[in-house]
Structure 1
Amino acid sequence: MLLTCKELTKSYGMHTVLDAISFVVNATERIGIVGPNGVGKSTLLRLLVKQEELDSGTITYAPNIEFGYLPQTTPDFYGQSIQDLILASVGNLKLLEEQMHTLEAAMAGAGANQLPSLMEEYAALTTRFQDRGGYELDYKIDSILEGLHLTYLERSRAVETLSGGEKARVGLATLLLRSPEILLLDEPTNHLDFASLEWLESYLSTYQGAVVMVSHDRQFLNKTVSKVFEIDEHSHQLHTYSGNYDAYIEAKQAERKRWEDAYEQQQEEIKELQKQIRINGRQVGHSNRPTRDNDKYAKYFFSQNVQSAVARNVRAAQMQLERIEENPIPKPPELLRVQSQFQTEPIQSQIIVRLEQITKSFGQRKLFEQLNLTITPQTRIMLTGPNGTGKTTLLRLINGDEVPDSGSLQVVEGARIGYLAQEPASLDREKTVIETYKYGQIGYEGEFIGRLLGYGFFRLEDMHKQVGQLSVGQKRKLELACLLAAQPNVLLLDEPTNYISLDVLEAFESALLHFDGPIIVISHDRWFIQRFGGEIWQLVDGRIERGQPGDANTPIPFL
């Protein structure tokens, strides 16, 4: 066992996140952690790497075990270059190599008594060095950078000058270069294009250590994990399921059905026992009336026997009811029903947005040159392409957040653009959920609470939580709620499936399918792309290559 966790408990004030959870992680295991946003998945990883303190419980790593952690949001690495991070990442391998050389020198001059123990230690070191790729370090560096599509970046470049996606991939690359015995990954597929996703799936399948990851990418989980840890949002406990994500969903549905059936059966039993007690109790009461003088003794004796039998039945039913009430089957909790439907009116114009001869560069890097694009009311575009080709910049140009170097961009009057950025917005941490949602709208707070609850993203007890208390995924849900409230008639969505849990994701996908207006979506979520339909456009070398209309049964041409 590489890692043993016993009775881990964590609370924030009165809010329990994890309640006495226990598990082990064995060598080469592939474990996916799932659960709704805010349930404690990222908190669990931070506890494992000691970035947060436990309230109680123990976390024990096996001797000499190294872990590596990829957080959900990548640090800026101020003052460091890509090469600095690479050298720091392979430092542990260099240290192992130095220890091996020290042992080699010691063995050369060791006596017969010392040599066996030195050789045993040396064999363990060389095995670790080999398993972690030490003998092919240069090749490993090149292959990881190439696999994550980072070779176009100069290694001398300062990390703080990179885009958010580039920083995330550099962070993942340098973590993989360390080759720790346990990889702890929080949303590792965010910011990866198709080629990088496939490479990472292949890399993890042959990784020599264990992998524990939080992910909302259904296809990625299906291809990479063999065990699922679910953190229950009601009990705050951890449940283990064998198999991949599809196997987990199947097991959960069967488990829920058994629970519902057992609960209904017990409720029927309670009703039947209460009915017996009520009817038989009345019969006992009626039998207690005084005997008449002309009643015969035998008749009286028989009635008393019947009365005793009925009383025994009443007592037996009462005892059975008491046993049930001491340890009842709890009612299955209400499932959070997400109702994220857009309310909007279509635009009458046949041309919503027109880009003509657009050119845009950043420094020496030219993204677009004389780009032309027309968006109509029927436009439904899934925009794909390798990272760094300008997909996000194109959406920001249409939204007015960037200005083209040359060319013209026209947006029809009456277009209400709803833009969801790739990274969660910098929301005011001091404001509450309901204050953030109702900002800029006119109405009563009760009305806004009802509307927000209606979406199914939050519960009543969440309304007055401060934004600073929310997880990244919960902040993303708040952004989606604000987007719905704005009633846009044009949608520009940049990686909308990042950070949000699978229950919300499927409802949001349904809302997009019924949206009556133009949509441009950037996504690398293969499952989402197959459900979205519409046209697939690929941005390559500053130009758009149009694909064929897709449907759920058509394979994605860029996988």
Structure 2
Amino acid sequence: MILACHNLNKSFGERVIVKDGSFHIEEREKAAFVGVNGAGKSTVLKMITGEEPTDSGNIILTKGKQIGYLAQQQNPQSGRTIYEELKTAKADIILLEQQIRSIEQELKSLSGEALETRLETYNRLMSEFESKNGYAYESEITGVLKGLGFQEEDFEKPADTLSGGQKTRVSLGKLLLTNPDILLLDEPTNHLDLNSISWLETYLLNYPGAVFIVSHDRFFLNRVVTKVVEIEHGNIRMYSGNYKAYSDKKKQIRDARMKEYLNQQREISHQEAVIEKLRSFNREKSIKRAESREKMLNKMTLVEKPLSDTDEIHFSLEPACVSGNDVLAVEGLSKQYDGQVLFSDAEFEIRRGEHVAVIGSNGTGKTTLLKILNGLADADSGSFSLGAKVQIGYYDQEHHVLHDRKTIFEEISDDYPALNHTKIRSTLAAFQFTGDDVFKLVGDLSGGEKGRVSLAKLMLSEANFLILDEPTNHLDITSKEILEQALNDYTGTVLYVSHDRYFINQTAGRILELANQTFVNYIGNYDYYLEKKEGLPPAGTADAKGASKGSYFHAQKAGPAESEAAALSQASASKQSWLEQKEVQARERKRKNELRKTEEQISLLEKRCQEIDELMTHEDVYSNSVKCQELAEEKALHSARLEELYDLWAELED
């Protein structure tokens, strides 16, 4: 074990971040830390590093071990170039190298005992230099930089002048090169393209230390981690396996708890009805039974209803009208930027109902393509045309379509003046903006909040052709799943850019890869794309079918007698189970039938006893002693029979 957290507690005012939270990370273990946005993941990481104090609890790091932490926001202000910034991660090796070179100069002028002493130091330093892979540190820096998407011409750029995403990549590269014993990574795949994410997966899988990752990239987590730590409503739980195993297990647990809760609620309702019925018999014995059941009910340990994430977004997409079959036609489209050709003579078509994902490395021109299609940028040559009745809804990852000086409410009401106050409020509430939140200025919102405002506007647009630029950025996993469902239910056409491979797998039926200044078409989702790229036989091909057939015949090695005996045994067991089930069902039907008949008899006799009581108040009856005697005897018989029926009803009910 390299890191252990015991009984952590942390609150900000009345908001509980974590309550008695405990988890641990083993050496070399790759673990994920998951939860909805705002659950407290980043706060827990800061508590581990000491940036944020705990209210109580213990954080134990194995003695002599070092932590490396990558926060979401990075802003190196060193005056160094990108290469120089990463070089600082190898400062110890560089110092060793300088000492070795200095001694090499000294050795030329030494002799005798002084030479022997200096040679010993030289050999010791050389041994340390070699053990730290000193000869390869420059190529290691270059490999990390290229893996993270930097080209050699970028190496000499000043780090201070980079964008926020580039600075984060520089900081990630620097952290990886320091080789700490445990890496704490907060959203490391943000700002990485598909190739860089794939490179990072391989790097972390082979990393000799432990890794604790906060990420909403489900594909990445499925590939890298073997344990998931979840924070939900202040509680921390651990699950074995990758993200899919965690997701499946969590659903099973929640379904089981919900089933247990609903069963108990049904039992409580049933017992309350029985108690009420017993009290209605108005006899000492029945009242005692009712009181006994009431005591048992009060002693019952109540099962809490499983909590759901209240901070989910809720929306659906529906086009106002159906477009023509031909939605988009691109012919000979070309664009270059700062002398660099992004794409040339691009040609493709999109038909109604298609869901098309555009993928490619950073800087290849994917976002530029979407801007051209939306009239926000001009192509250098070529053209595109939209089909009949096509109405575009655009989601811009930089949110330029939003106005920083407007409130959230004004952003919606100005674009959709026909909506009344209540409709705007309810729409924004579906995207987690409630109360005074709707009067926040757009310019003061976080990236995730701006994304939710853009999604709200997209939902209201009723467009039949959605063009989306990185729609899952800043969304937590729950929100991504809701967006996936909305897109899969959407009957219009979708063209989007994304680096989220899991999202692409769930929502795309076709992929356009922008590589080498041209678009390559793949009819399928991301898994199909990988099969084609890696040269594997796609599922359903002759090779794949052959492999399946081979596996099938391999499984048929048991002899015919053994197979027949096993089949007969299984059939016999199934028949026995079926007979037992039918017997139980028959007994239950009989009990319910007897209970129904008993209730009917009780009802009839109680009604007759009431009628007798009523008759005894009539003058022509109470003045007739013979008639009174007959009615009294009849009621006595009915009362005795009711006593028997009350007992029988209670037994049948039990």
Q: Partner amino acid for 1:321? A: L
Matched, 1:445 2:421: yes
Match of residue 18 from structure 2: 18
What whole-Å deviation, never above 9, does each CA across 1:275-300 have from its counterpart, x for those lacking one?
Answer: 454344455x544xxxxxxxxxxxxx
Structure 1 residues 77 and 352, CA gap change in structure 2 (3 angstroms): farther
Structure 1 position 359, deviation (Å): 4.4
Q: Partner amino acid for 2:235? A: Q
Question: What stretches of structure 1 of length at least 5 have no aligned partner?
Answer: 102-121, 288-305
SS across alignment from 1:531:
helix
User: Which whole-Å CA distance do the structure 1 matches of 2:17 and 2:505 have between them?
Assistant: 34
User: Which whole-Å CA distance do the structure 1 matches of 2:410 and 2:92 have between them?
Assistant: 48
Structure 1 residues 93 and 209, CA gap change in structure 2 (3 angstroms): farther
Structure 1 residues 138 and 399, CA gap change in structure 2 (3 angstroms): same
Structure 1 position 522, deviation (Å): 1.7
Match of residue 418 from structure 1: 393
8 Å contact kept, 1:491–1:520: yes
Q: Partner amino acid for 1:147? A: G
What whole-Å deviation, never above 9, does each CA across 1:153-206 have from its counterpart, x for those lacking one?
Answer: 431112355566544433322221121222111222234333333322221112
Q: Partner amino acid for 2:422? A: G
Match of residue 108 from structure 1: none
User: Which whole-Å CA distance do the structure 1 matches of 2:476 and 2:446 have between them?
Assistant: 11
8 Å contact kept, 2:186–2:215: yes
Which runs of structure 2 are paired with 1:63-212 in the superposition (5 Å)? 63-75=63-75, 77=77, 79-91=79-91, 136-159=136-159, 161-162=161-162, 166-212=166-212
What whole-Å deviation, never above 9, does each CA across 1:182-236 have from its counterpart, x for those lacking one?
Answer: 211122223433333332222111211111112222222112111111111xx32
Q: Partner amino acid for 1:450? A: S
Match of residue 513 from structure 1: 488
SS across alignment from 1:381:
strand
User: Which whole-Å CA distance do the structure 1 matches of 2:4 and 2:99 have between them?
Assistant: 28
How many pairs align?
Answer: 509
Structure 1 position 536, deviation (Å): 1.9
Match of residue 293 from structure 1: none
Match of residue 224 from structure 1: 224
User: Which whole-Å CA distance do the structure 2 matches of 1:462 and 1:214 have between them?
Assistant: 30
Match of residue 118 from structure 1: none
- Greater shift in the superposed pair: 76-85 or 501-510: 76-85
Q: Partner amino acid for 1:177? A: L
8 Å contact kept, 2:225–2:242: yes
Q: 2:249 aligns with which of 251, 260, 284?
A: 251
SS across alignment from 2:496:
strand
Matched, 1:382 2:357: yes
8 Å contact kept, 2:324–2:389: no
Q: Partner amino acid for 1:489? A: N
SS across alignment from 1:554:
helix
User: Which whole-Å CA distance do the structure 2 matches of 1:57 and 1:476 have between them?
Assistant: 36
8 Å contact kept, 1:68–1:182: yes
User: Which whole-Å CA distance do the structure 2 matches of 1:424 and 1:528 have between them?
Assistant: 20
Match of residue 270 from structure 1: 268
Structure 1 residues 10 and 93, CA gap change in structure 2 (3 angstroms): farther
User: Which whole-Å CA distance do the structure 2 matches of 1:439 and 1:68 have between them?
Assistant: 47
8 Å contact kept, 2:222–2:244: yes
User: Which whole-Å CA distance do the structure 2 matches of 1:76 and 1:437 have between them?
Assistant: 37
Give the TM-score normalised by structure 2. Answer: 0.67
Question: What stretches of structure 2 of length at least 5 have no aligned partner?
Answer: 102-123, 535-654
8 Å contact kept, 2:510–2:525: no
Structure 1 residues 415 and 273, CA gap change in structure 2 (3 angstroms): closer
User: Which whole-Å CA distance do the structure 2 matches of 1:271 and 1:246 have between them?
Assistant: 37
Which runs of structure 2 are paired with 1:276-291 in the superposition (5 Å)? 276-283=274-281, 286-287=283-284
8 Å contact kept, 1:434–1:463: no
Structure 1 residues 216 and 261, CA gap change in structure 2 (3 angstroms): same
What whole-Å deviation, never above 9, does each CA across 1:238-257 have from its counterpart, x for those lacking one?
Answer: 11111111211221122112
8 Å contact kept, 2:184–2:213: yes
User: Which whole-Å CA distance do the structure 1 matches of 2:297 and 2:405 have between them?
Assistant: 50
8 Å contact kept, 2:364–2:514: yes
8 Å contact kept, 2:73–2:164: no
8 Å contact kept, 1:193–1:385: yes
User: Which whole-Å CA distance do the structure 2 matches of 1:15 and 1:433 have between them?
Assistant: 25
Q: 2:343 aligns with which of 347, 368, 371?
A: 368
Flag the structure with more relative contact order, 1 or 2, with Cα contacts below 8 A and sequence separation at least 6: 1
Q: 1:542 aligns with which of 513, 517, 521?
A: 517
Match of residue 236 from structure 1: 234
Structure 1 position 32, deviation (Å): 0.8
Q: Partner amino acid for 2:528? A: T
User: Which whole-Å CA distance do the structure 2 matches of 1:406 and 1:51 have between them?
Assistant: 53
Q: Which has the higher helix share?
A: 2
Structure 1 residues 365 and 162, CA gap change in structure 2 (3 angstroms): farther
Structure 1 residues 426 and 43, CA gap change in structure 2 (3 angstroms): farther
User: Which whole-Å CA distance do the structure 2 matches of 1:472 and 1:49 have between them?
Assistant: 25
8 Å contact kept, 2:6–2:21: yes
- Greater shift in the superposed pair: 69-78 or 199-208: 69-78
Q: Partner amino acid for 2:260? A: A
Structure 1 position 349, deviation (Å): 6.1
Matched, 1:400 2:375: yes
Q: Partner amino acid for 2:241? A: G
Q: 1:330 aligns with which of 304, 311, 318?
A: 304
Structure 1 residues 373 and 255, CA gap change in structure 2 (3 angstroms): closer
Q: Partner amino acid for 1:138? A: E
Structure 1 residues 154 and 341, CA gap change in structure 2 (3 angstroms): same
Q: Partner amino acid for 1:16? A: V
What whole-Å deviation, never above 9, does each CA across 1:413-439 have from its counterpart, x for those lacking one?
Answer: 975433333456797899876565555
Q: 2:507 aligns with which of 532, 537, 547?
A: 532
Match of residue 570 from structure 2: none
Structure 1 position 98, deviation (Å): 9.3
What whole-Å deviation, never above 9, does each CA across 1:365-422 have from its counterpart, x for those lacking one?
Answer: 3323454566564664321222222212222232333344556666689754333334
Structure 1 position 263, deviation (Å): 1.4
Structure 1 residues 93 and 425, CA gap change in structure 2 (3 angstroms): farther
8 Å contact kept, 2:325–2:387: no
User: Which whole-Å CA distance do the structure 1 matches of 2:81 and 2:8 have between them?
Assistant: 38
Give the TM-score normalised by structure 1. Answer: 0.77
User: Which whole-Å CA distance do the structure 2 matches of 1:18 and 1:475 have between them?
Assistant: 27
8 Å contact kept, 1:194–1:558: no
Q: Partner amino acid for 2:343? A: F
Structure 1 position 517, deviation (Å): 3.9
Structure 1 residues 160 and 388, CA gap change in structure 2 (3 angstroms): farther
8 Å contact kept, 1:133–1:140: no
Q: 1:321 aligns with which of 291, 297, 316?
A: 297
User: Which whole-Å CA distance do the structure 2 matches of 1:26 and 1:146 have between them?
Assistant: 30
Q: Partner amino acid for 1:188? A: P
- Greater shift in the superposed pair: 194-203 or 415-424: 415-424
8 Å contact kept, 1:82–1:158: yes
Structure 1 residues 473 and 45, CA gap change in structure 2 (3 angstroms): farther
SS across alignment from 1:497:
coil
Structure 1 position 73, deviation (Å): 4.2
Structure 1 position 14, deviation (Å): 3.5
Q: Partner amino acid for 2:299? A: R
Structure 1 residues 488 and 421, CA gap change in structure 2 (3 angstroms): same
Q: Partner amino acid for 1:508? A: L
Structure 1 position 21, deviation (Å): 1.9
8 Å contact kept, 2:185–2:214: yes
SS across alignment from 2:319:
coil
